[in-house]
Structure formats: structure tokens, C-alpha cells
Chain A
Amino acid sequence: MKITPEMVKHVAELARLELAGKDRRKMDKQMTNILEYVSLLDELDTTGVPPTSHVIEVENVFREDEVKPSLPVGKGLANAPESVGTAFKVPKIIDG
């Protein structure tokens, strides 16, 4: 599958990445190469084969809804680039 510059732009937007001109062109080519390689899978007939999302049998794991000690607020905020009181601080959300 050929990856066009428009597709790279769209995917980068979804992934919240900003690719500069040269990097974006390199990305078109590398993604095209890798996707060409993975198209090998089209040879295999997978009709009626169920998908594997997990290799071991996992069932829902339930527990009692009890309050247990968790990370104290101070520790949770210690790595934050910016915080205020007991909250993480971010730049303004509505652009423009």
C-alpha cells in the first residue's frame, strides 16, 4: 500500500505528532516500505480464523470494591511539569 503525504499528515494528527518537512518525506517512504512488507499477510487465508487478542485464557478479574492505600497526591504530582494545589496544570485548552 502506497502511503501518500496526505495520509502521513492525517495519521500524525491522530497521533499528536508534528513531523517537519524532511522527516515527513522520510516517513512516507519508510511506512510504505514496511506496509509493503506486511502485505505478505494477504497471502494467508484467514477466513473463519478467530482473532487472538490475548494468548492466555483471561477472564474478567473481579475484586471487592474496597478502599486501599494508593499513591499520595504529593507523590503523584511530583513528576508533573506544572501543578497547582492538588491538580495538574496544562496550557489553555481552547486554542485561538
Chain B
Amino acid sequence: MKLYQETIHSLHDKLKAGDITSRQITESVLERIDAVDEKVRAFITRMDELALQMADAADERFRKGESLGSLDGIPVALKDIFLTEGILTTCGSRILENFVAPYDGTAVSQLKMEGAVFVGKTNMDEFAMGSSTENSGFFPTHNPWDLERVPGGSSGGSAATVAAGEAIFALGTDTGGSIRQPASHCGVVGIKPTYGRVSRYGVIAFASSLDQVGPITRDVMDGAILLKAISGHDPADSTSANVPVPDYPSLLTGDVEGMKAGLPAEYFEEGLDPQVEEIVRKAVADLEKRGMEIVPVSLPSTKYAVATYYIIAPAEASSNLARYDGVRFGVRYPDAKGLTEMYKKTRSRGFGPEVQRRIMLGTFALSAGYYDAYYGKAQRVRTIIRREFDEAFTKADVILSPTAPTPAFPLGEKVDDPLQMYLTDICTIPVNIAGVAAMSVPCGLTSSGLPVGLHVISSPFTEDLMLNVAYAYEQERGEFPRCPL
């Protein structure tokens, strides 16, 4: 096995033993990027020089016996939504194509404090609005398993780097499935923690009541290591939760005997690809073999979740994106006669079509005369959806479903039909609406060799349970095939 194919924990053991250096790992990853990124196009910005400096600093620490922990010296790719001091941070948008972040976001500083090596900033749907990474203002990313297909989105660049060996792990964000769906399509592990588990400080805002930061990794153990590193209360984000962070890695026992897994019928309805269904049901049966009890649960309002999301998320986005006005940062349209014209021309030229569509929808949903009928209504439905999850979690410890109803779709297939694109997130959106935790773990390949993900959902702040179920499944499943690229 090549160094770029390994996991955080296997590399950490070798670094600690002095068998390899961080420079060797980093060079292996950078060479891999040289070899494949022309095809995958996962990175907006590479930072080879900085990566090698960070690697050498890590090696120095290991030599002196001052290693910072599990992530020390391990190469990571960051979604281009995270502010990184002194480094271009575009959020996938032309309007920020020249924006150099003035400070580090909290998750990024936590990775720095743990010694992780930054190799680059990854491609994404513009402002995280999309499910295929085709809405990037720069170029689409290709799925490493099949270059003619999308990697999913919006964290498609991050998921593709981990699948293709262009980083050992990555950070993403998830507002309606943007970590889990690309993880599913790329055959890697993706975690959306409970809302409030990870600080959002220094993460470019899309929909503030839904956005959450999370890990994209090769296995569940790596996910647990990374989640522990980035979780916790942050005074700079007043919505981050002051709830103790368990030592997730040490809680992975693989023992799920007697635990209850709920299967919601509503997630196995029409629209679900038959092969995806078969593969996911087999994964559920594998967990049953490990002693889990499978119980039916009901989430009857599931079918309203996408509609609720497409009011709430655009409404919050229209407010958050008002800041891109060509005054303090980003690109300004140069020849306007007055301020209002400058705003309009800057925004119309700087934002892509999907972002403009969502700003329009959100502005409409919040506008005088329509607020109660749209935004107010969606917030009430949100309460109903939350209550149904609360009720389901009285019967089951975790809920299992497919992560996405189909495997990765071909590039260009849905790009002109926004509504069809929105419906690809039907299994992941309810989780953000309710604020609960969920993750995707690879559970099989279709006959054409495309990865499928098992979606494990757990109640707020019980990521330890969810991780342990995914870990137990992973043990039962065995080694997952590597992508053929």
C-alpha cells in the first residue's frame, strides 16, 4: 500500500514509531495530486510549499518527542468554505475569486494546533449550494470512481480528494447533505455532527440554522479521531454547544449487541434505486448479525422535508449573502455610476445562476405579504419534523437508511433541472432540519462499480452511538474496495 492510501491512525502509528516521516507522507500525497488531479479536479488552490513546511515542522516535533497528537504530520484537504489566514478562500464563487482570508476559522486553527498538514483548498458548489459540485464558479469536479460522473456535493472536492488519495482526510460542511451525499458517492466516510457540536466561526455562512462542519475520512476510526479534534464549545460561535466532548475513538468497541436500529419505511419508498435498496438492506442485515435489533420507526413527514428546506435554506442564505456587495471584500464591478448600480452589477456578475435563484427564492419567502405563508409555515413544519425524530428515538438508538437514493449520476444530467437536483438530498435533508447527527459509511458497490452509503442517524449529541454502529458495520463488512483510479 502507498502512503497516500493509508488512514490517519495507521500513519500516526508509523510516525510515532519513527518508521516514516511526515515529509514522506506529504510528498506521496503531493505526487498523487500531480498524477491524478488533472482528471479529478478536486482542488481550487494547492499549497505544496506550505504543506512541506508544515510537514517538516511535524517531523521536528516527532524527533524531539513533542508530537501534538493523532493528526500531527497528516495531510488534510480543506473545503474552500473555511477561512484560512493568508490563503485564497473563494467558497467556489467568482465573487470571492480574489479573497484572501484575514484569519483562521476555529476548525482550521484546531487542525493547526494538532499539527495537521494543509495540502489545499477543495472545490465545491458555489456557497455550498448544490449536490454535484457542478455549481462551482470555476469548474466541475469528477468522481474518482467514474470520471464521467459527479462526486456529489457540495463538499464534492473534499470527498474526491479522500477517495482519490489526494489527501488522507478532509473537512467539509453539511447544510442539507453536503458531507454525507458526496461521501456516499465517493465511497468514503462522511459525518454531519449534531448542530452546535462543531464551531462555525470562520466558516462562510450559507444557512446558519442548518450549517455544520464535519469530517470526511477513509474509515470510521479516522472519523472519530477527527470529530474529537474539531468538536467543542467556542466562545466565538454563540450557537456552539457547551456539551462535553467524549473521547470518540476509545468508545469504538464494535459491540452493538442489544442496541436498537430503527428502519423508517418513508426512506425506502419510490425513487429509491433498487440496487441501492438491496445493498443497504444487506448492510442492515449485517448489523442484525452483530446483535442489533431492527425495529420499524415512522417519520411520516419525511416527504415535506425537501420543501421545508427549500424555504428555510434560501431564506437564511438571502440574508447571509447580502454581505457580498462589493464594498469590503470580493470582486467589485468597476464602472458603476452610483452605489445601487454597483451593488446590482457586482452581485449579478459575481454570483452564479443557482446562487441567484436561491437568493431570489429566499428574498421572496421573507418578503412582505409572503412571510407567514412560506417562511412561517416552513418553521412550523420544521417543528413537526423534529418531533417525529424525537418520537422515533424513543423506540430506537439509531436510525438506518440509504444516504442517497441513487449512486452518483452523470455530469450534466440534472444541472438544468434545479428541482430534480434538490430531490437527490431527500434522505439527508431531514437530519439538518431536525438538527440531529448522522453519517454515511460505504456499504457496497453497484454492478457498475459505484459506491453506495449506509446512513446512520442518531439523536443530538450521541455521535458516540452512531460512530460505534458504523464501526461495527465496518468490521462486519471488511475492507472496502479502493477506487480504481
Q: A55 at the A/B interface (Cβ < 8 Å)?
A: yes
Q: With A38-B310, A41-B304, A82-B332 known to touch, is A95 a contact of B338 (CB < 8 Å)? A: yes
With an 8 Å Cβ cutoff, the count of chain A residues facing the other chain is: 54
A21 contacts which chain B residues (CB < 8 A)? none
* Chain A residues within 8 Å of B99, by CB: 79
Cα-based distance from A40 to B304 in the complex (angstroms): 7
- Chain A positions within 8 Å of B98 at CB level: 79
Q: Are A56 and B196 in contact (CB under 8 A)?
A: yes
CA distance A52 to B337 in the complex (A): 43
Please state if B307 and A7 are interface contacts (CB–CB under 8 Å): no
In contact, A34 and B361 (Cβ under 8 angstroms)? yes
A3 and B342 CA atoms in complex are apart in Å by: 27
Most buried by A among B339, B379, B380, B381: B380
Interface locus among B255-263, B270-278, B286-294, B323-331: B323-331
Q: Are A18 and B344 in contact (CB under 8 A)?
A: yes
With A11-B367, A15-B318, A81-B331: A91-B337 Cβ-Cβ less than 8 Å: yes
User: What band does the interface of chain B fall in when counting residues whose beta carbon is under 8 Å from A?
Assistant: 35 or more
Q: Which of B195, B235, B306, B325 contacts A16 (CB 8 A)?
A: B325
B342 with A90: CB separation less than 8 A? yes
Contact A7 B364 (CB under 8 A): yes
Contact with B along A82-96 (1 / 0, CB 8 A): 100000101111111
With a CB–CB cut-off of 8 A, which chain B residues contact A8? 360
- Which residues does chain A contribute within 8 Å of B239, judged by CB atoms? 54, 56, 58
Q: Is B238 an interface residue (CB 8 A)?
A: yes
The smallest beta-carbon distance between B195 and chain A, in angstroms, is: 5
A binding-site residues for B, Cβ under 8 Å:
3, 7-8, 11-12, 14-19, 23, 27, 30-31, 33-35, 37-44, 46, 49-56, 58, 61, 63, 71, 75-76, 78-82, 88, 90-96
Chain A to chain B: the 9 pairs with minimum beta-carbon distance, closest first: A55-B435, A51-B379, A81-B332, A79-B329, A46-B380, A95-B338, A61-B238, A18-B344, A38-B307
Taking A78-B102, A79-B102 as known contacts, 13 extra A-B pairs with beta carbons closer than 8 A to each other, sorted by chain A number, are: A17-B347, A17-B351, A17-B359, A31-B364, A37-B310, A46-B381, A75-B103, A79-B330, A81-B331, A81-B332, A91-B337, A91-B338, A95-B337
Question: What are 19 A-B pairs with beta-carbon distances under 8 A?
Answer: A16-B344, A16-B347, A18-B344, A18-B348, A37-B310, A38-B307, A38-B378, A40-B307, A44-B381, A46-B384, A51-B380, A52-B382, A54-B239, A55-B386, A58-B239, A79-B98, A79-B329, A90-B327, A91-B341
